[in-house]
A and B are shown apart, each in its own frame.
Chain A
């Protein structure tokens, strides 16, 4: 068990991030906190992807006169760069919508917004 934690700690970190993100999405009423939770959830996936490219003792994948293998796999990094861009765009759209919701209902809390809507 201790051995597993010491050698696979990156998986544990990724799972923790996923769980924390999901918990924030479900349990916290504040909309901005939900978006932060969404970001943490995605970061867990990013971490998982990036660690899969790891090769023990691997060099950075840069070709040059003194380049010597084995290299770590660059592909997951490239993929996650794209995924980060997607994540940033999503956050931007989400925050824009939250600004509009705040202007409309005067609150960022889900339960209060529900009350305001019920009274309308």
Chain B
């Protein structure tokens, strides 16, 4: 049943085109088409995941052309996990966009295109194909960011477009270097041919540097994160929920895929400098992202800088290249998607209920919007790494991996990152529950005070449940990921 792989990519893209066509006749059809498209996408993703975790890796040759000439689609444990997150988050966030005035047919066409592009990034086994899907993802993301109909979001979208395109172009240039060195673009084939070309050859080193730099821009690691805070902050709340959960996640997946399936662990053994540079750059991102997050006054910008820091952690884990760190990186990659998506969803609900969008305005909101602020607090603490939430498990394995590798500075940075994450969330949580306002004054502002659950709030609450369930199920997930890790580490 390897036909599921192309279906999972084609279906959202076809649905996107259908949304444009049907939307010309019936303006309000976009949401329903997106709902059907993403619902089927969830079924496909579950189908792929059960096959991968049951019978192992699946491959599909597009149009029957065998690799290395043809394009190959591959699903292993890592891609199945990320694909499932993409499908489920894509489906759930639709509940957030429901009934919005500004979200028309074109919005849902872009939404579906984004989901299709992300599915493509996770499933492709061909380097050039990955570039195309990264650009499809990017294109949809730029348009979605600008969909807020404000000048600010258009500017942020354009900035994101220019910087994102430079990133993708560097990636493409790196792919070109690898192609010149080996004459192939298929990932499996490349891993053998790159070894034959010699890991220390200048072409191979340059291709690695260009590809990793390009992806770092797409992930938004410090110091090439500059597009990201404004893009997240100025996008509509539904879009920042979707994009913060998925787009950088897919780029971080791409970096893991390229490290392990293209350059392989042996490349790092042969060129330890490349590994060190990547690990330390990622660690710098952890520190700088946290410090910048503490300095923000706007909540959405704070959450955005928090992503810079958390993705530093994920990339550091992948670059450490041992099994424990890899497991931690994968868990944190998936867990962060749910936690950060949930945080943006909660922040959006709080903004609708109370109008609060800055850290100072969050003072004493706990009484006004108890469930939304509670969700925000729990998800924040989950991201800090309080057990039993998934944030704890991911960081725990990454720290263990760093200790096992003997890189004490990184181990220290990871442990410190927990404290730093607490630094910017504690600031908000403290204001929400123990704010400076006189009590009673705010109670009068609260409308009736009875807590109600809207679909948007339900999404944030679902994220809390998911975060705890994922934290408890992490050992089970680790056992599922075992065959994939053995394959990637060449055991």
A contacts, CB < 8 Å to B: 22, 25, 31, 34-35, 38, 41-42, 45, 48-49, 52, 76, 79, 82-83, 86, 89-90, 93-94, 97-98, 100-101, 104-105, 113, 117
Residues facing A in B150-181 (CB within 8 A) are 150-152, 154-155, 157-158, 161-162, 165-166, 169, 172-173, 176, 179-180
Is B155 a contact of A113 with CB atoms below 8 Å? yes
Q: Is the interface of A mostly helix, strand, loop or mixed?
A: helix
Is A100 a contact of B154 with CB atoms below 8 Å? yes
Is B154 a contact of A49 with CB atoms below 8 Å? no
List, in ascending order, chain A residues with CB within 8 A of B158's CB: 31, 94, 97-98, 101
Is B151 a contact of A105 with CB atoms below 8 Å? yes
Q: Within the complex, what minimum Cβ distance (angstroms) separates B466 from chain A?
A: 33
> Can you pick out 20 interface pairs between chain A and chain B where the beta carbons lie within 8 Å of each other?
A25-B166, A31-B158, A38-B165, A42-B165, A42-B169, A45-B173, A48-B176, A82-B128, A83-B131, A86-B132, A93-B139, A93-B142, A93-B161, A97-B154, A101-B151, A101-B155, A101-B158, A104-B154, A113-B155, A117-B152
B contacts, CB < 8 Å to A: 128, 131-132, 135, 139, 142-143, 146, 150-152, 154-155, 157-158, 161-162, 165-166, 169, 172-173, 176, 179-180, 185
Please provide the 5 A-B residue pairs with the shortest distance between their CB atoms, ordered closest to farther.
A104-B151, A100-B154, A97-B158, A86-B135, A101-B154
Is A90 a contact of B139 with CB atoms below 8 Å? yes
List, in ascending order, chain A residues with CB within 8 A of B155's CB: 101, 113
Is A34 a contact of B132 with CB atoms below 8 Å? no
Q: Within the complex, what minimum Cβ distance (angstroms) separates A29 from chain B?
A: 13
Contact of B162 among A82, A94, A104, A105 (CB under 8 A): A94
Is A52 a contact of B179 with CB atoms below 8 Å? yes
Q: Within the complex, what minimum Cβ distance (angstroms) separates A117 from chain B?
A: 8
Closest to A99 in B: B154
Q: Tell me the bound Cα distance from A79 to B128 in angstroms.
A: 8
Closest to A105 in B: B151
Is B151 a contact of A90 with CB atoms below 8 Å? no
Is B161 a contact of A94 with CB atoms below 8 Å? yes
Is B162 a contact of A48 with CB atoms below 8 Å? no
